[in-house]
Homo-oligomer: A and B are copies of this chain.
Amino acid sequence: MPTKTYHIGVEATMEIIGGKWKSIILCHLRHQTMRTSELARAIPQISQKMLTQQLRELENADIVARHVYKQVPPKVEYSLTDYGESLSGILHELCVWGENNIDRREAAGEEITLLNRDDV
């Protein structure tokens, strides 16, 4: 396999938390362990396919852990790994900065809404 090359640290970070869904998923898992259906309810805009696909990728990066309960109907829980917890501070700041950005744009007259300002 050819050596993977990065030019600057942030490239690697963005490869892991970038894209439309990963940071949102991680922000939810930051507060609690959640099962698949709970995540789907917390992120109503995401499709089944994207949810599991993104969770798989986060699992492969050792950011989230997947716990399968052997029962029927199935029960699967996701949580941050210890390593994933090292992103917690960053995720919090990303949430807060975004909330402020939305306030700012609203103050500037933009039609804009933030449904959940639940970040602790």
Show the binding face of A for B, using Cβ within 8 Å. Answer: 1-14, 16, 18-20, 23-24, 27-28, 43-45, 83, 86-87, 89-91, 93-102, 104, 110-119
Q: A7's contact among B1, B104, B115, by CB below 8 Å, is which?
A: B115
User: Hey, which chain B residues are within 8 Å of A24, CB to CB?
Assistant: 7-8, 10-11
CB–CB B98/A9 < 8 A: yes
On whether the beta carbons of A102 and B9 are closer than 8 Å, the reply is yes
Residues of chain B within 8 A of A110, CB atoms compared: 4
What residues on B are CB-neighbors of A119 within 8 Å? 8-9
Q: How far is B45's CA from A25's CA once the two chains are assembled, in angstroms?
A: 30
Q: Of B12, B28, B118, which is within 8 A of A101 by CB?
A: B12
A9 to chain B, nearest CB (A): 3
Shortest Cβ distance from A104 into B: residue: B83
A105 CB to closest chain B CB (Å) equals: 8
Q: A1-B111, A11-B24, A14-B23 are in contact. Are A86 and B90 (CB under 8 A)?
A: no
Q: Which of B86, B89, B91, B115 is close to A10, meaning CB atoms less than 8 Å apart?
A: B91
CB<8 Å pairs between A and B, sample of 12: A4-B112, A5-B112, A5-B114, A7-B44, A7-B115, A8-B118, A10-B24, A11-B98, A12-B101, A13-B94, A14-B20, A93-B93
